[in-house]
Homo-oligomer: A and B are copies of this chain.
Amino acid sequence: MTDIKNELKIAAELTEKELSRLLPESDPDYPVIFEAVRYSAMAGGKRIRPFITLKVCEMLGGDVSAALPYAAAVEMIHCYSLIHDDLPCMDNDDLRRGKPTSHKVYGEAMALLAGDALLTHAFGAAASNPVLSSEINLTAVKLLSERAGCHGMIGGQVLDMIGEETPHSYEMLLKMHEKKTGALIRLSAELGALAAGCRSGSSFDAAVKYAESIGLAFQVIDDILDADGDEAILGKPVGTDRREGKTTFLSFMSIYEAHRRAELLTFEAKNAIKDIENNEVLVALADYLLVRKS
């Protein structure tokens, strides 16, 4: 039986070591930006995305060392998006993972630049993967750009903003999630497959389907926890979606139905990879994300 929490912990440590290796070294004439970059990138978190990259790579017969630079690159993109999302002109959040947000510590201008820097260096990290060929690294760079760009994560952010003005239809809610968080989770799986030398075919498609399904399940659970979670465990106030009049899964179904939906998505995720050997850790991740309380 997989000890998923321990697996997550081990992978997070590997990812953090790789991040530390790949983030730019400081310049004594202007250390502040390098500090700001590390403040956000080394701030912990579950490191779910790099975990997926590493474990998809292993499941498909690749070596973790080949996946690590890609895992770090995905995490840099994720961290950049959090810094920019937290800015006053976006969500205006003061806290992130229990710590003051970047702009609270370094000011808005430096936080803006720290986000820009993480995005910029993510591409350098993926391009410089020393284990893989130029061709594979170039494919990774193209995928990063596509999934993080206007048809991926940025598009999802825009749809989220549009949804604050005009309530989304259910179809548009799905599209928003597919892009806002789904695109990067999908990218995590794609880069893991790529690192294992798998660029297409049924195993690649299975990894993508797995990622799409757990990504959406993650969002459904998020909406349930916001409505029905335990503030003490969650670490943030509940009921904010409702107070802000946000369209969520619970705008279209009951908590019970939403839970059934998350269960179905988790089943679909596990089902997608059921015929692949060494799928235990990813199966355990899907189950873990379903029952999470925070």
Number of copies of this chain in the oligomer? 2
Contact indicator B128/A142 (Cβ below 8 Å): yes
| Residues of chain B lying within 8 A (CB to CB) of residue A154 | 33, 113, 116-117, 120
Contact indicator B29/A172 (Cβ below 8 Å): yes
Q: Is A159 an interface residue (CB 8 A)?
A: yes
- Bound: A145/B127 CA distance, A: 9
Contact indicator B108/A89 (Cβ below 8 Å): yes
Q: Find A148's partner among B120, B144, B158, B172 (CB 8 Å cutoff).
A: B120
Q: Is A10 an interface residue (CB 8 A)?
A: no
Q: Find A145's partner among B110, B120, B137, B142 (CB 8 Å cutoff).
A: B120
| Residues of chain B lying within 8 A (CB to CB) of residue A116 | 80, 84, 115-116, 119, 154
**CB proximity to B under 8 Å, residues A120-135:** 120-121, 123-124, 127-128, 133-135
Q: Is A68 an interface residue (CB 8 A)?
A: no
Knowing A116-B154, A150-B37, A154-B33, the reply to whether A145 touches B159 (Cβ < 8 A) is no
| Residues of chain B lying within 8 A (CB to CB) of residue A277 | none
Q: Is A34 an interface residue (CB 8 A)?
A: yes
Interface string of A138-166 (1 = CB under 8 A from B): 10011011101111001101110110000
Q: Identify 8 residue pairs between A and B in the complex whose beta-carbon atoms are under 8 Å apart, listed by A's number.
A: A24-B149, A30-B162, A32-B158, A37-B150, A84-B113, A119-B120, A120-B149, A123-B145
Interface residue ranges, A against B (CB under 8 Å): 24, 27, 29-30, 32-34, 37, 80, 84, 87-90, 107-110, 112-113, 115-117, 119-121, 123-124, 127-128, 133-135, 137-138, 141-142, 144-146, 148-151, 154-155, 157-159, 161-162, 172, 175
